[in-house]
C-alpha cells in the first residue's frame, strides 16, 4: 500500500513539473505617437515625475491641504480599497493551484439483507477534485488576477496624482478669488466716491443728470461684480472641501496673490520617458497583460482537465475501532475530462478573449495618446502664456495711464464724463484680465506637472 502511494505521489509531481502554458507571448504595442514633442526645446534627460509634490508646492497652507486630501479624500480611499479587493482576488487565484485539504468525519447506518443494521464510522483527511494544472489554465487565471492587482495599484497612483493637481488648482482659484474681490472692493470704493462727488457737482449745476446716471450705472456694475465674485468664492470653497474630504471654512484665506506664487521649471523629457512614469498608462498596460493571459485560459479549455480526489483516513464498523491497527487506508482517484461537444462554448470563449485583448490594445494606445496630448497641451500653454501675461501687464499699464489722463482732461473740462467712465471700465477689465491670466498660467504649470506624472510619492501613500 505504501509503495503504491509513493508511486502515485511521484507521478503527480512529474505531471505538475511537466505543466505547460497556453498564454501568447506578451509584446508591448508600439506607441502611436511622435518620438518628440512639438516644442523640441522642452526635451530633457530628467523627468518631472521625480519631483515630489512637497518640493513642487512650496506654500505650507497648500501642502497642509494636499496632506489632508491624501488622508480623507473618498475617491482616493476607494482606490486603496480596490487594491485590497484585487489582492484578495489574486490570493484566491493563487490558492487554486494548491490542493484544499479537509478534515472530515462521518457516521452512517444502513439495513442489511438479514434484517439487521450495519454501522460505518469514518474519519480522515480528504482532497476533493483538485485540478492539476497540466495545461496552464489556473496559472493563466492567476496571471490575470496578478495583472489586475498591479493595475489597481497603478490606478491608485493615478488617482493620487489627479487629486494633488485638483487640490492645487482649487487652492489657486481661491487665491485668484480673493485677489479679484480685493480689486473689486477698491474699485467699488472709488466709484462710490466718484458717485458722491457727481451728486455734489449736480447740485452745484456743474454736471447734468446724465453724468449722475452714468456714474450710478458704473457703481452698480461694480456691485454686480462683487456679488458674482463672492458667490464664485463660496463655490470654490465647497469644491476644495470636497477634494480635501473635510470642511474648509468660508473664512479660509490663502494670504497670497497670484503674482507672488512661483513653481519650479519642469523638464518635459522624451515622450517614451513620460509614458514610463505615467501610472494611468501602466494601468492600461496591466489590463492588456491581463487580457493576454486570459487567452491562455481560454485555449486551455480545449484540452483535458485533470483532477484528483484523494483521502487518507480510517473506517470501522465500531466507533471504538476507528484508530486501531488495520483500519487506516489511502484512496487516490484521478479523473480526466475531455470536452467532446460543448455547442461552441469554448470556441466562443476563445474568440471573446481575443477580442478583449484587441480592446485592451486600443485602450492602451488611447491612454498613450491621451498622455501625449495632455503634455503637449501643457507645453503649448507654457510657450504662449508667458507672452500673453506680459501683454496683459502692458495693457494694464496703458489703461492706468489712460485713466489718469482722462481724469485730468475731465477735471480741466477738455473731455466729457463719458470718456472718464469708459477709461474706468477698461482699466477694471484689464486688471481683472491680468489676475485671470496669472491664474491660467499657474494652473497650466500644475497641469504640466500632473501630465508628466508628478504628484506621486510612496511616502504619502
- Please tell me the distance from the alpha carbon of residue 384 to that of residue 392, in angstroms, as a whole number: 12
Domain boundaries, the chain: 2-106+135-303+338-460
**Could you count the other beta carbons within 10 Å of the beta carbon of residue 169?**
19
Q: Report the pLDDT value the prediction gives residue 267, as an integer from 0 to 100.
A: 75
Q: Smallest Cα–Cα separation from 255: which of 337, 177, 364?
A: 177
Q: What is the pLDDT of residues 154-200, one digit of tens each?
A: 999 999 999 999 999 999 999 999 999 999 999 999 889 888 988 88
Q: Report the pLDDT value the prediction gives residue 227, as an integer from 0 to 100.
A: 95
Q: What is the pLDDT of residues 244-297, one digit of tens each?
A: 999 887 778 887 899 999 998 887 667 766 777 789 999 999 999 999 999 999
- Please tell me the distance from the alpha carbon of residue 447 to that of residue 443, in angstroms, as a whole number: 6
Q: Report the pLDDT value the prediction gives residue 8, as an integer from 0 to 100.
A: 41
Q: Report the pLDDT value the prediction gives residue 72, as an integer from 0 to 100.
A: 92
- Please tell me the distance from the alpha carbon of residue 360 to that of residue 32, in angstroms, as a whole number: 15
Per CATH, the architecture of 2-106+135-303+338-460 is what? Up-down Bundle (1.20)
Grid coordinates belonging to 255: 494670504
Length of the chain as a residue count: 461
Q: Report the pLDDT value the prediction gives residue 15, as an integer from 0 to 100.
A: 42
Q: Report the pLDDT value the prediction gives residue 125, as an integer from 0 to 100.
A: 87
Give residues with Cβ within 8 angstroms of 413, minimum separation 6: none
- Please tell me the distance from the alpha carbon of residue 452 to that of residue 450, in angstroms, as a whole number: 5
Q: What is the pTM for the complete model shown?
A: 0.84
**Which residues does the chain have with pLDDT short of 50?**
1-18, 40, 42-43, 45, 459-461
Q: Report the pLDDT value the prediction gives residue 44, as an integer from 0 to 100.
A: 52
Amino acid at each position: 500500500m505504501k509503495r503504491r502511494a509513493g508511486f502515485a505521489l511521484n507521478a503527480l509531481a512529474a505531471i505538475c513539473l511537466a505543466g505547460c502554458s497556453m498564454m501568447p507571448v506578451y509584446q508591448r504595442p508600439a506607441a502611436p505617437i511622435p518620438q518628440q514633442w512639438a516644442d523640441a526645446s522642452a526635451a530633457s534627460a530628467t523627468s518631472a515625475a521625480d519631483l515630489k509634490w512637497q518640493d513642487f508646492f512650496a506654500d505650507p497652507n497648500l501642502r497642509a491641504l494636499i496632506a489632508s486630501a491624501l488622508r480623507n479624500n473618498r475617491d482616493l480611499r476607494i482606490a486603496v480599497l480596490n487594491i485590497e479587493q484585487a489582492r484578495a482576488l489574486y490570493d484566491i487565484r493563487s490558492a487554486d493551484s494548491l490542493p484544499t485539504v479537509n478534515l472530515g468525519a462521518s457516521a452512517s447506518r444502513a439495513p442489511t439483507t438479514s434484517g439487521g443494521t450495519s454501522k460505518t464510522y469514518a474519519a480522515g483527511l480528504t482532497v476533493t477534485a483538485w485540478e492539476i494544472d497540466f495545461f496552464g489554465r489556473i496559472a493563466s487565471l492567476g496571471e490575470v488576477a496578478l495583472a489586475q492587482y498591479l493595475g489597481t495599484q497603478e490606478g491608485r497612483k493615478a488617482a493620487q496624482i489627479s487629486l494633488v493637481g485638483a487640490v492645487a488648482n482649487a487652492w489657486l482659484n481661491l487665491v485668484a478669488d480673493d485677489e479679484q474681490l480685493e480689486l473689486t472692493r477698491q474699485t467699488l470704493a472709488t466709484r462710490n466716491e466718484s458717485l458722491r462727488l457727481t451728486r455734489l457737482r449736480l447740485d452745484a449745476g456743474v454736471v447734468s443728470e446724465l453724468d449722475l446716471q452714468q456714474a450710478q450705472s458704473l457703481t452698480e456694475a461694480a456691485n454686480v461684480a462683487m456679488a458674482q465674485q463672492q458667490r464664485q468664492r463660496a463655490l470654490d470653497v465647497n469644491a476644495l472641501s470636497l477634494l480635501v474630504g473635510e470642511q474648509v471654512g468660508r473664512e479660509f484665506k490663502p494670504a497670497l496673490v497670484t503674482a507672488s506664487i512661483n513653481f519650479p521649471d519642469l523638464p518635459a523629457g522624451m515622450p517614451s520617458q513620460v509614458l514610463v512614469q505615467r501610472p494611468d498608462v501602466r494601468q492600461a498596460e496591466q489590463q492588456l497583460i491581463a487580457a493576454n493571459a486570459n487567452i491562455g485560459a481560454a485555449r486551455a479549455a480545449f484540452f483535458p482537465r485533470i483532477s484528483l480526489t484523494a483521502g487518507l483516513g480510517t473506517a470501522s464498523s465500531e466507533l471504538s475501532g476507528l484508530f486501531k491497527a488495520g483500519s487506516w487506508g489511502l484512496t487516490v482517484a484521478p479523473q480526466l475530462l475531455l470536452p467532446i461537444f460543448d455547442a461552441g462554448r469554448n470556441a466562443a470563449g476563445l474568440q471573446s478573449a481575443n477580442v478583449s485583448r484587441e480592446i485592451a490594445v486600443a485602450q492602451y494606445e488611447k491612454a498613450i495618446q491621451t498622455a501625449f496630448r495632455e503634455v503637449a497641451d501643457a507645453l503649448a500653454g507654457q510657450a504662449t502664456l508667458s507672452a500673453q501675461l506680459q501683454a496683459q501687464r502692458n495693457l494694464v499699464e496703458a489703461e492706468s495711464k489712460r485713466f489718469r489722463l482722462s481724469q485730468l482732461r475731465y477735471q480741466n473740462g477738455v473731455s466729457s464724463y463719458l470718456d472718464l467712465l469708459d477709461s474706468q471700465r477698461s482699466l477694471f477689465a484689464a486688471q481683472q484680465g491680468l489676475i485671470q491670466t496669472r491664474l491660467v498660467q499657474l494652473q497650466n504649470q500644475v497641469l504640466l506637472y500632473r501630465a508628466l506624472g508628478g504628484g506621486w510619492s510612496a511616502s504619502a501613500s
